[in-house]
Structure 1
Amino acid sequence: MSDATQNHADLAPSTGAKFRQRTLPILIFVAIILAIPMTDPSRTMLTLIHQMAINIVFALAYNMLLGKGGMLSFGHAVYFGLGGYFCMHVMNWIEEGSGIWGSYPTFFLPVMGFVAGGLAAAVIGSFSCRRAGTTFAMISLGVAELVFSGAFMFDSLFGGEQGINGDRMNGPEVFGLSMGPMQDIYWFMAFWTVVGIVAMYAFTRTPLGRLSEATRDNPQRVQFIGYNPTRVRWLVFTISGAFAGLAGGMSAVNYEIFTPEALSLIPSGFVLIMAYVGGITYFAGPIMGAILLTYMSSMMSDFTEAWLLYLGLMFVIIVMYAPRGIAGIVFGFWDGLRGAQSGEFLKRTLIQLAGCLLMLLGLIVLVEVSIRWSNGWGEVFEPYGMHFGHDSILTWIVIVVPIVAGAAILRYLGREKEEMPA
């Protein structure tokens, strides 16, 4: 074996690392899905879980482009929305009992979303995938604006501003699910989420999935070995759009309505943040990002009106200081605990965490006090019965001291790391 081959083998993740980073998260996820019904979740919790399931499939589909294919898209909600809209039309055809649709189960509507999203991506990708990098991103942005504008012009297809609604309780039952109660929808969501995760994971292990990563890193070399990088990008783009359409079909069944907002730049930007915050270099990363950001968008808004500001700050911090996302932090921490200097690593991590929490404490107080002062309604930030007015010296002590102390701790750790021998 040559030295080059040995070095290449050393760069590859070990069997244990592959299991921890790829297989184990999926097994844990499936176990959680099976355990949730045993806890007798409330209707609110089921609604949140259903939204998480939709976003997980959508984020994984998007990461096939960004993480695996290196294609930054600002309009992937187009395929999510077109898949959902087509499912809404099929849902109404099922209710009318017209043609073959009268015997089509609502349970399998995501398949129609998969087909519609894939066909739309195949057509749009036939010209957009001829370019890469910034040009591709700008084309995706233009296509998103074009489709979003068209949704208000073609009322028969998109229903105008009011969108299209339907009734999911039609067609033959599958697995004894009437598709009416929230519990039935839970198993519907669980089934298609697991199918989507397993199918997309299987795709990453195929030759095309490997070629997409090679095209991302070095398209010239891919062309040199006999493959067309443009065709590889188009195929990956089409499959990614199909799975985005699958998520759109899940959303159509869950909400029984689809509006042009689903085609706008807002969900396209949100899925980008979900994938990147979770970690685009790990298959489980978008799953983590989708769960966290769905919770933040649904529940955190009940506690503070500045939740979007916190979301933006988190995204900036992840991009600057943790580019491998939440998954990178989790797996890095686990690998550090298994290392030779696990005690020193744990001590350093705890100190670093303390510094981050101190800065976060000061920042939260600053944001909440500023929001209440800016609104001018006379409200005062009063967590746990404490009174933090904007004109109080105590308030500014609570803001400044933790931020300065946390920054000093992180700066000290950074200098110590630089002075450590390589």
Structure 2
Amino acid sequence: MTDAITTRMEALTPSSAEKFRQRVLPLIVLAVVVAVIPFFGPSRTMYSLLSVTGINIVFALSYNMLLGRGGMLSFGHAVYFGLGGYAAVHAMRAIENAEVGFWTSYPVFFLPVIGFAGGALAGAVIGWPSCRRAGVPFAMISLGVAELIAAAGFMFGSVFGGEEGISGDRMNGPELFGLSMGPVSDVYWFVAFWTVVGTAGIYAFTRTPLGKLSEATRDNPERVQFVGYDPQRVRYLVFIFAGGFAGLAGGMSAVNFEIFTPEAVSLIPSGFVLLMAYIGGIKHFAGPVIGAVVLTYMQSNLSDYSEAWLLYLGILFMGIIMYAPSGLAGILFGTWHGLREDPVGLVTQWWTAVLGAVLTFLGLIVLIETAVRWSNGYGEVFEPFGVELTMASPLAWVLIVVLIGAGITLLRRAFVQSREEGGA
């Protein structure tokens, strides 16, 4: 019996090639991509956008250690990002003002290590009472902690700097790898290095016994307790490491922006990191990475084209919740696996869903942009391709009804096909 079970387990175990393709290759691809980008000569704006994207990738992955891997919904994860960033910016000021001692020889390049320590320490202190509860009580506690720390940011000026925040100068201390940390290209290499290190570190954590136990605790805490482990302790340890990696991202942000304000520990970044993780897909390790890339681009560029970009973000989030709970990563990976098994059927279903989503989204764009300009009352008119569309225009309403109606019809057809194939 034991031999038969062992044989079956060995058959289910992925091969060395599969382990390399699934575990090592994505990290190599990430490292190669961030190393190759500067050779295409990006602009200063693009360097800045890429740096923010790298910071958000680590931040979103650290949040998914709680939500996706540990099943802990937190509304205050920015607290650990912010406290880690504050620790790093205070260390930056110490390096700037040091004449003798430890800080004279500490490179700014390693400030994310200070951020990691600050975030982990905050996680250890706050997590001790927080992790005694799970589920909704844990979420409510995290919300209360976020409000508490955000309020403290304006009360304790010596630590948080009040509304003006705490600033520093990154061009101090010994140089490392020939980076003066002045040009945005130097900062990009700094962020790229720590993005790869942070991503690899978080992935390595998911492969440890503690990382596996966090998933088991998420799925069945009673069974974990039955086999001899304390679910509360597991959640607490995971909470500390998640806070540490969030602090790592905060340290990267401190060097990138050279300033930290109480806004960094508020509910706004806590909500934004939740959106990045969930839209990308909390069930897949690559999900928060995809979510961070998409939402950082939307925040930085879509806002230049439309003041209603937050409405589009909300629609995207609602669409993911309702129709694609596995997120963008689930859509990509599901499509890839489906193409390998049934390419003809899945291609038809996929293109039906894509066409439906595009038509629905186009109809919503016409509705939102026309309504926003009418609401502002400044005489602006939505003019796609030179066609004037107003709230009083019959053409606008025809486009809205036809596009949204056709899109929803195609989406329903694709959904029915998916259910029929699943039932079969």
Verify same fold: TM over 0.5.
yes
Match of 1:90 in 2: 91
Pick from 306, 315, 321 the counterpart of residue 319 of structure 1: 321
Match of 1:288 in 2: 290
1:155 aligns with 2:157: yes
**1:92 aligns to what SS in structure 2?**
helix
**Is the CA contact (8 Å cut-off) linking 1:22 and 1:283 kept in structure 2?**
no
Tell me whether 401-410 or 56-65 shows the greater mean CA deviation: 401-410
Give, as a single letter, the amino acid of the residue that structure 2 aligns with 1:216.
Answer: R
Match of 2:376 in 1: 375
Shift of residue 351, structure 1, vs aligned partner: 1.8
Partners of 1:200 and 1:298 in 2: how far apart? 26
**1:152 aligns to what SS in structure 2?**
helix
Match of 2:184 in 1: 182
Partners of 1:265 and 1:131 in 2: how far apart? 21
Change (3 A) 1:15 1:289: farther
Shift of residue 119, structure 1, vs aligned partner: 0.6
Give, as a single letter, the amino acid of the residue that structure 2 aligns with 1:185.
Answer: V
1:247-270 deviation digits (Å, cap 9, x = unpaired): 000000000000000010000000
Shift of residue 19, structure 1, vs aligned partner: 5.5
Give, as a single letter, the amino acid of the residue that structure 2 aligns with 1:344.
Answer: G
Shift of residue 397, structure 1, vs aligned partner: 1.2
Give, as a single letter, the amino acid of the residue that structure 2 aligns with 1:343.
Answer: V
**Is the CA contact (8 Å cut-off) linking 1:21 and 1:331 kept in structure 2?**
no
1:54 aligns with 2:55: yes
Match of 2:366 in 1: 365
1:267 aligns with 2:269: yes
Shift of residue 408, structure 1, vs aligned partner: 1.8
Shift of residue 413, structure 1, vs aligned partner: 3.3
Match of 1:71 in 2: 72
Give, as a single letter, the amino acid of the residue that structure 1 aligns with 2:367.
Answer: L
TM-score (norm. length: structure 1): 0.95
Change (3 A) 1:213 1:22: same
Structure 1 residues 5-24: aligned runs within 5 Å: 22-24=23-25
Between the aligned residues of both structures, percent identity stands at 62
**2:155 aligns to what SS in structure 1?**
coil
Structure 1 residues 333-372: aligned runs within 5 Å: 333-339=335-341, 341-372=342-373
Partners of 2:272 and 2:357 in 1: how far apart? 25
1:278-330 deviation digits (Å, cap 9, x = unpaired): 11111111000000000000100000000000001100110111011011011
Partners of 1:386 and 1:147 in 2: how far apart? 50
Give, as a single letter, the amino acid of the residue that structure 2 aligns with 1:238.
Answer: I
**1:338 aligns to what SS in structure 2?**
helix
Change (3 A) 1:114 1:393: same
Pick from 215, 220, 223 the counterpart of residue 222 of structure 2: 220
Partners of 2:104 and 2:385 in 1: how far apart? 57
**Is the CA contact (8 Å cut-off) linking 2:66 and 2:73 kept in structure 1?**
yes
**Is the CA contact (8 Å cut-off) linking 2:281 and 2:291 kept in structure 1?**
yes
Give, as a single letter, the amino acid of the residue that structure 2 aligns with 1:303.
Answer: Y
Partners of 2:209 and 2:229 in 1: how far apart? 12
**Is the CA contact (8 Å cut-off) linking 2:349 and 2:417 kept in structure 1?**
no
Partners of 1:128 and 1:316 in 2: how far apart? 29
Change (3 A) 1:122 1:382: same
CA-based RMSD of the aligned residues comes to: 1.9
TM-score (norm. length: structure 2): 0.95
Partners of 1:289 and 1:13 in 2: how far apart? 28
Match of 2:109 in 1: 107
Partners of 2:395 and 2:278 in 1: how far apart? 38
Structure 1: gaps (5+ residues):
none
Match of 2:388 in 1: 387
Match of 2:259 in 1: 257
Partners of 1:389 and 1:12 in 2: how far apart? 60
